[in-house]
Structure 1
Amino acid sequence: MSDVATQPRVPARVVLLSLAALWACYFLVATLRGAVMGYDFVWPIFSRRLTICILSMLVMAAVWPLLQMLERKSGGVRLAIVLVGALPLALLLSVINEAVFSDMEMTQAYGSEQEAEAVKSGKVKISRDEAGNILVDLPTIVTQPVPAPPGTPSEDASAPTPPPAPEPTTTSDPNAHSITIHTNKTLGDSYARWGSVADYAFTRYFLVLAWAALYFALAKAEEARVAERREGEHRRAAAAAELRSLRYQVNPHFLFNTLNSLSALVMTGKQDDAETMIQTLSTFYRRTLSGDPTSDLKLVDEIELQKLYFEIEAVRFPNRLVSTIDIDDAVSNAMVPGMILQPLVENSVKYAVAATQRPVTIAIRAHRVDDMLELSVTDDGPGEKVKGVQGFGIGLGNVRDRLRARYGDAATISFGRREEGGFATVLRLPLQFGPSDAGPLELARA
């Protein structure tokens, strides 16, 4: 598909609204200008001006496809074409204005609508002589005798008979019923109408240029919106890819440790424990790999996964691993990134339980702090510092990167030794809830 076919277009609704706004402003300015110049607010002028605005808007809307063809042109080419092409369009709009107001001009010239109608009907003929004077030919006057009222002395039989009334006559003198209006106009005034058209064309020219500039600005804005939307989609895709990659880093790391534990169980002859671990591990991976690694889980489901992990590690450390879970019911449906607690619990097993021969308690707690969800994983082990790049180990670095990719700066992670002994990691992330009717994750036990 070509670039022309795929390039963003200004919606037709926006184009028509821009034209309507342009000519509405023109109508308002022209009306106010007439008020300032002393013209009366009369409907004939309003109706004709409104007609001109509607017709002009339709004519300019017809030019819209031509402007679309110029969107991919360079700025110089576009400017040259618009400057030249606006001339005939402005002239057409001026002719429309002259045609609509032509009858109003005749009415103003003859003084009233009745006089203008008389000129149109042919009862009065108006012309100009070579000096520019106006000649008005009046209709022929016919004189009729007026009968005397009854009872007057003229009806008396004894009265002398009046002479017969003369027959009505018409004059053949062409100047007998003509009026000459002397003016100061010359023959050059015959071009006044075209001068008026040119004057209106000049005004319309700048209106056309203004709308063309507005259209190209709207086209650029639409292009910027599409580019911003695509950039947002790319950012979301990149964030999803990063989340997916970080999520898949958790499972291989956990699997590596679990396989080492299985090897140790087999080598020490604990086949039953090894079989239990394999079955539990199979259930754990079936649940963690079946979902979308970029989607969130309800906290109660995340806790169920960690319980399953504790079962796996309890096979390795049956007398040393003690787990406690304290989840506030008010946040049990809060949404968290899947497997976000796994690296933290795994660190406690690695650096606390495996590093000592005494029982170690790993505690998971969750509660609400203002509008944030606070998750903590603590242990009472030796409290050795987790070594790694910039103070983060692999597990803590993974959690930090996932929180940044998912929440940006809205989520934080803090960790360190506890005063009473052991190590603590605290996560704070935005409190978001999922559907209240969905139950906890049901983990099948093989």
Structure 2
Amino acid sequence: MTLAVNHQQPPNRSRLVSWPRIRLWLIMTAIWALIRTLTSETTGFTEWLVRCGLASALGVLAYGVLDQWPRRLPRWSPRWILQLLAVLIVTPPAAYLGYAATLGTVDVPSLGTTYRDGWLITSFMGILVGPWIALGAQLHRSEAFAREQALAFKLRSSELERKAVDARLRLLQAQVEPHFLFNTLANIRSLVRRSGSADATAMLDNLIDYLSAAVPRLEAGDATFEHEQHIVRAYLELMRMRMPDRLGYTVRIDPAALALHCPPMALMTLVENAIKHGIDPSETGGAVDVRVTVRDHRVQVSVANTGVGLQPRRGDSAGTGLSNLRERLALAFGDDAQVRLGSAPASGTVAEAEFPACRGDPA
């Protein structure tokens, strides 16, 4: 015989006397006892409460027992059918026990046809009404199960959406600086070929410092401005060695900002953009000024350069780094983050970013 697994919660004895079932029992008992009191001339409401209460209690208990046991049922046997049959079977003997309890004897028929007929009428009412109440309980349980499934699906969807956002964020982070590493290695190769061993060694040392600071942060979600400061300084020192006569730089970060959250490589993106689009194209080079301040619970980042200034974009050749940065900040802070690019007061370009000041990962 093929068995079907019943997809429900594990058996729990406390559910047999849960409040919803106690409430169902109280309602059934009150209505049933009131009807029998109005239709009976010899028995009071209190006795009917005992009789109907005992009968309905055993019916609700039988329904609850078959709600959890057995754990597995044949495919051709739905659980709700067994529960209805249990209510139908339990109702007559349960009503008889109620009569015996109130009359003080187990031989109810010996007291006369009045009590025998009363027990039969009470049993018939239980058989007639009980299954409908059981069906109502089953419907309520099905609705509750549907709500639980909908909530579980919503939670699962939220979790998948969060993982997708995380994956997208990591992809964007991985796209920030691929060309920088190859360009630096190419420069080192040129220096070695020219037998400039001292310069090559110094550049290798700075490259190691940069990679040691940058690579772990690509996988981290709790980067701070203190971490970013190490990456930026190592990167700028490498660039200064590549063009010693054309690059100067300053890095100033408020002490209050050092422990604040910074999306990994966010500050580095602005600095790299200043070098790539401001300093590199200029024959005379220029200076890069990095500033991070905290004001009114918001972080304000400014990276200015005195290079060639804003230039018209040519297709997708420019602005990729800033576009990625905007998307990464949007993933981290939603609409509460901004990235701006404009001309510096004297000459060159200034890139600014602003987002909420918070400690640790905002997600």
**TM-score bin, normalised by smaller chain:** 0.7 to 0.9
- SS across alignment from 1:257: helix
In structure 2, what is the equivalent of residue 27 of structure 1? 26
1:340 to 258, 261, 266: 266
Aligned residues of 1:8 and 1:223 also touching (Cα < 8 A): no
Give CA deviations for 1:236-259 in whole Å, capped at 9, x if unaligned. 332232222222222422213323
Deviates more, 1:44-53 or 1:293-302: 44-53
Per-residue deviation at 1:311?
A: 0.8
> What amino acid is aligned across from residue 415 of structure 1 in structure 2?
L
- SS across alignment from 1:336: coil
Unaligned ranges ≥5, structure 2: none
User: Is 2:220 aligned against 1:220?
Assistant: no
Matched-pair identity in %? 22
Task: Pick closer, same or farther for the CA change 1:242–1:432 going to 2, 3 Å.
Answer: same
In structure 2, what is the equivalent of residue 63 of structure 1? 66
In structure 1, what is the equivalent of residue 179 of structure 2? 253
User: Is 2:29 aligned against 1:103?
Assistant: no
Give distance in 2, aligned partners of 1:353 and 1:217: 66
Greater Rg by CA: 1
Give CA deviations for 1:350-406 in whole Å, capped at 9, x if unaligned. 222223244623222223344432322222322123736689622112222322343
Give distance in 2, aligned partners of 1:99 and 1:126: 13
In structure 2, what is the equivalent of residue 377 of structure 1? 303
Give distance in 1, aligned partners of 2:183 and 2:69: 68
In structure 2, what is the equivalent of residue 305 of structure 1? 231
In structure 1, what is the equivalent of residue 86 of structure 2? 89
Give distance in 2, aligned partners of 1:309 and 1:280: 8
Aligned residues of 1:335 and 1:432 also touching (Cα < 8 A): yes
Per-residue deviation at 1:280?
A: 1.1
User: Is 2:19 aligned against 1:16?
Assistant: no
TM-score normalised by structure 2 residue count: 0.78
In structure 2, what is the equivalent of residue 234 of structure 1? 160
Task: Pick closer, same or farther for the CA change 1:347–1:127 going to 2, 3 Å.
Answer: closer
In structure 2, what is the equivalent of residue 198 of structure 1? 124
> What amino acid is aligned across from residue 89 of structure 1 in structure 2?
A
- SS across alignment from 2:303: strand
Give distance in 2, aligned partners of 1:217 and 1:127: 47
1:323 to 212, 232, 249: 249
Following superposition of structure 1 onto structure 2, how do residues 75-224 of structure 1 map, counting pairs within 5 Å?
81=78, 84-85=81-82, 87-95=84-92, 97-103=94-100, 106=103, 193-224=119-150
In structure 1, what is the equivalent of residue 204 of structure 2? 278
TM-score normalised by structure 1 residue count: 0.65
Deviates more, 1:293-302 or 1:261-270: 261-270
- SS across alignment from 1:338: coil
Task: Pick closer, same or farther for the CA change 1:100–1:233 going to 2, 3 Å.
Answer: same
In structure 2, what is the equivalent of residue 139 of structure 1? none
In structure 2, what is the equivalent of residue 109 of structure 1? none
Give distance in 1, aligned partners of 2:334 and 2:318: 18
Give CA deviations for 1:285-332 in whole Å, capped at 9, x if unaligned. 133224562423121111111011111011022233222223222222
Give distance in 2, aligned partners of 1:345 and 1:17: 66
Give distance in 2, aligned partners of 1:371 and 1:96: 73
Task: Pick closer, same or farther for the CA change 1:31–1:54 going to 2, 3 Å.
Answer: closer
Task: Pick closer, same or farther for the CA change 1:192–1:18 going to 2, 3 Å.
Answer: closer
Task: Pick closer, same or farther for the CA change 1:262–1:358 going to 2, 3 Å.
Answer: same
Task: Pick closer, same or farther for the CA change 1:355–1:50 going to 2, 3 Å.
Answer: same
Task: Pick closer, same or farther for the CA change 1:412–1:66 going to 2, 3 Å.
Answer: farther
Unaligned ranges ≥5, structure 1: 107-115, 129-184, 436-446
Higher relative contact order (CA 8 A, sep 6+): 1
Give distance in 1, aligned partners of 2:144 and 2:235: 57
Give CA deviations for 1:11-48 in whole Å, capped at 9, x if unaligned. 65699289531331441564478689799885x66666
Deviates more, 1:347-356 or 1:9-18: 9-18
Q: How many residues are matched? A: 351
Give distance in 2, aligned partners of 1:91 and 1:421: 91
User: Is 2:287 aligned against 1:367?
Assistant: no
Give distance in 2, aligned partners of 1:243 and 1:67: 49
Task: Pick closer, same or farther for the CA change 1:230–1:8 going to 2, 3 Å.
Answer: farther
Give distance in 1, aligned partners of 2:7 and 2:313: 52
Cα RMSD (Å) of the superposition? 4.0
